Structure formats: C-alpha cells, structure tokens
Structure 1
Amino acid sequence: MHMHTDLKFMTVMQWMSPAFPIGAFAYSHGLEWAIDKGHVSNGKKLQNWIIDLLEYGSLRTDAIFISLILRGYDAKKMNELSIALCPAGERLLETKLQGSAFAKVIEDVWKQDIGELSLPIAVALAAKNQSIEQDLILPAYLHAFCSNLVSVAIRLIPIGQTEGQRIMLGLSSKISDLVQSASESEIGDLNSACFFSDVSAMEHEHLQPRVFKT
C-alpha cells in the first residue's frame, strides 16, 4: 500500500469500528422482533436473514446509494430518496439518528459539515470528501452492518461468539458480490423486496418489553 492508501484505509476502519459513536449497538433493524417470535432461532436462519438484506433489502439499497454518491450523484436528492424508501417508522428513526450521530463526529473531528443525512448518505458523502474509493468504504460499511446484526443475535437467540464468526465468514462472499453489483448499479436499480424484514421492522414498534430501539 502507498501512504495515502494506508491513511484512507485507517480512516475507513475508524469510521466503521464498533467504537465509533453512532450507537449502532442499540438498533436491531427489526431482528429483535423476528427472534422474539421464533422466526430467527439459530445461526442458519440468522445467516439467511442477513443474506436476504444483502441480496434484496436495505443493505442492497444502502450499497447502491453509497456507490451512486461516490460516482457523482447529488447527495441531497439521494438522501430524500433513501428516506422515502424506509418501510417503517423505526427504520427511518434508525437511519436518521445514526446518520446524525455520524455527521456530528465527522464535523467535530474531521471539521467537515455534511449536514443531517441518513446513515448511508452521510457515510458516502464523508467518503467522497476524503477521496475514499468504493472498494474501501463499501465492504467495510456492509461488514460493519452485518456484524452488528450478528451481535444482536449473539445476545438474543443466543448463539455463541464462535458461531457468530462462522456466520460472518459465510457472509463474506455475499458482501463481495454486493460490492461488485452496487458499483455497477444505476438509480433505476434502487428497489427492495425483503418483505419479512420490513414487516419485522413494523411489528417491532409494538414489541414490549424490548432491548433494542428498533
């Protein structure tokens, strides 16, 4: 690696670290409801749940949004579209609160005002401002998101830490595939067909008691 690549890589690792203060640990993306109702009850079902998000759901659209902004699409317009695509109130809350928290740290530490944006748009715009390429930010973003969902399941199902790592290894090729397809996608490819995950996010709004905000 060249020096500038090393610095970009370390920046991405810092942004996507669990220690980066956006409160990702507090959100389950609707997974808590699916676990509570017995729909996701083991490692295999969890892996399939996350694969659906990567292939048909919110992670696919997040990846496309990030790629589009890095290829020059207007961040404000993409943000409006990303908000409109949120299928449930808690999904909207999740992406807006995390996006706001991410933007605040970017402003405080990197001295860049990127504004109030949904999470994928905030990440994309920050990456664009730092001249960070798709092949660095996309896999890191997707890996961090998937890892957070696995962490949710470790706490709730529960599955063991080692099983969680097996699941993450199994997701690696799916993440790689999405990075490739997202980098070639256009705005017309923004669609979602992950209905059970969306319904879970809606149902979670009424779940009591709960551990996670979403």
Structure 2
Amino acid sequence: MSSLALLQLVSPALPVGAFSYSEGLELLVQRDQLQDRATLASWLEAELSRGQVMIEAAALRPLRHSLSQWQVSAEQGKVDHGTDVRDWAQWLIALRDAAEVRAQQQQMGRSLLQLLADLGYPLPDGGVDFGWPVAWAWAGLSWEITPLEVVQGYLFGWVANQLSAAVRLVPLGPTEAQRLQRQLQPLIEMQARSLLDVDPKQLWCGGVGSAIAQLSHAELYSRLFRS
C-alpha cells in the first residue's frame, strides 16, 4: 500500500499547481544557457547534487519526526502549537532567495495540505499555512509511506516537474524527457539514501546559478511560468 500511496503523491494529477512553475528554467532558456537535452541534464544533475532541493529532501525525515510528535501530543490532549514544525518550515523557506520561489513553496504547500485535509488527514491544528516540504512530509506520515520512499518521491517529483517545464521551453520532446527522467534515476536513488540520515543544517548549497536565475525571472518582459 505504501508504494501505491507514493504513486498518488508523485502523480502529475496531484492538484497543487506544480505545472505552472519553472524555477528559473524559463530565464535560462531565454538566455540560451539551456539549449538541449545535454545542457538540461547537466543542470538537473548539478541541482540534485548540490542544489536547494537536496537540503529540503534531507529535512523530510526530521520534519516527519516533529510532525509525528505534534500529532501524538494532539491525540493526548496536550497543548502543542507545532513549534518544532514551524521552526523547520521557517528555516527552509528562508533558504530560498527568490520571492517567486518562496511564494511557489507556500502555494504548493497550502494546496497539498488542503487536499490532505479534504481527504481526512488534517494537520493537528487544522492549518494549511506551511510550505511544500512540510506538506510532503505530512503526506508521507499520514499515508504511511516509508521515510526512504518519501525522500525518493520528493526528488523524483522535483525532476518530473522540471522536465514538464522543459518540454514546453527547450527543444525537448516527451520521449527525450522520459529518457532523461530514467537516466537520472540512479542519481535520485543514491542521493535519497545518502540524505536520509543527514542533518540538513550541516549541508551546504552550491546553487548560486539557480538562485540568480530564479531572482532574475521576475524581470522577464513576458513569461509562461510563475517562477
């Protein structure tokens, strides 16, 4: 059942609006820095290896632990405002340089948390004002997806969303996108296993180019995507 729940969570039919974001890819394509499958593959590999998505993936397990403690406290009738969860959420959103990407994280997080609440899995306080990593960790906990699968799914889903944007931006057909998704699977698997027990606050992010692209996206005269 865990694997089926994971399939639902990574499905492109999940109504969280991920299709409307490019996370800087649009600017890179317009500046001719991403031209084909090879340059896109290099970009995605670099982000998986040392980008912000890596730190968020590493934070999913401690987030799950904090969410579990919050849930237990609520079931026992204890006063618990989810302080640890909020601290993690604020730290993660503060790592994002671009206001557009911070808004993306918040919007997708709210959408997923609202969906989970509608399906019978509300947060202990019924709130939905958390970012995407918190929402993803809560989905994993609520649907009893294993911690490793939660991390794998987070990375896989991020790549899938980037490829969805790339199909509309780069001269890249859907078959090539699927070939690239499969090519990146060993790296996703390796990163998921290596990040599972790592303290995210001990990691460093080398995604300077990504941050600049995301910040500069807001200055585009015309654009297809929201980030």
Same fold (TM over 0.5): yes
Match of 1:204 in 2: 217
Match of 1:152 in 2: 165
Tell me the distance in 2 between the aligned counterparts of 1:133 and 1:98.
22
Identity %: 25
Report the Cα offset of residue 89 of structure 1.
0.7
Match of 1:10 in 2: 4
Residue correspondence of structure 1 range 29-108 to structure 2 within 5 A: 29-72=23-66, 74-108=84-118
Tell me the distance in 2 between the aligned counterparts of 1:187 and 1:151.
27
Match of 1:3 in 2: none
Tell me the distance in 1 between the aligned counterparts of 2:144 and 2:178.
31
Q: Unpaired segments of 5 or more residues in structure 1? A: 1-5
Q: Which amino acid aligns with 1:112?
A: P
Which of 125, 138, 144 in structure 2 is aligned with 1:131?
144
Report the Cα offset of residue 140 of structure 1.
1.6
Match of 2:130 in 1: 117
Tell me the distance in 2 between the aligned counterparts of 1:191 and 1:91.
19
> Given that residues 51 and 207 in structure 2 are in contact (C-alpha distance below 8 angstroms), is that contact kept between their aligned partners in structure 1?
yes
Report the Cα offset of residue 174 of structure 1.
1.1
Match of 2:73 in 1: none
Count the aligned residue pairs: 208
Report the Cα offset of residue 36 of structure 1.
0.9
Q: For the aligned residues, what is the CA RMSD? A: 1.5
Tell me the distance in 1 between the aligned counterparts of 2:99 and 2:169.
23
Scaled by the length of structure 1, the TM-score of the pair is: 0.91
**1:25 equivalenced with 2:52 (yes/no):** no
> Given that residues 16 and 144 in structure 1 are in contact (C-alpha distance below 8 angstroms), is that contact kept between their aligned partners in structure 2?
yes
Match of 2:187 in 1: 174
Tell me the distance in 2 between the aligned counterparts of 1:145 and 1:26.
13
Report the Cα offset of residue 198 of structure 1.
0.7
Report the Cα offset of residue 71 of structure 1.
4.2
Scaled by the length of structure 2, the TM-score of the pair is: 0.86
Q: 1:186-206, CA deviations, whole angstroms, 9 ceiling, x for partnerless residues?
A: 143243111111100000011
Tell me the distance in 1 between the aligned counterparts of 2:66 and 2:105.
22
SS in 2 for 1:60: helix
> Given that residues 69 and 128 in structure 1 are in contact (C-alpha distance below 8 angstroms), is that contact kept between their aligned partners in structure 2?
no
Report the Cα offset of residue 126 of structure 1.
2.5
Q: 1:36-81, CA deviations, whole angstroms, 9 ceiling, x for partnerless residues?
A: 1100111011011111111111210121111222344832211011
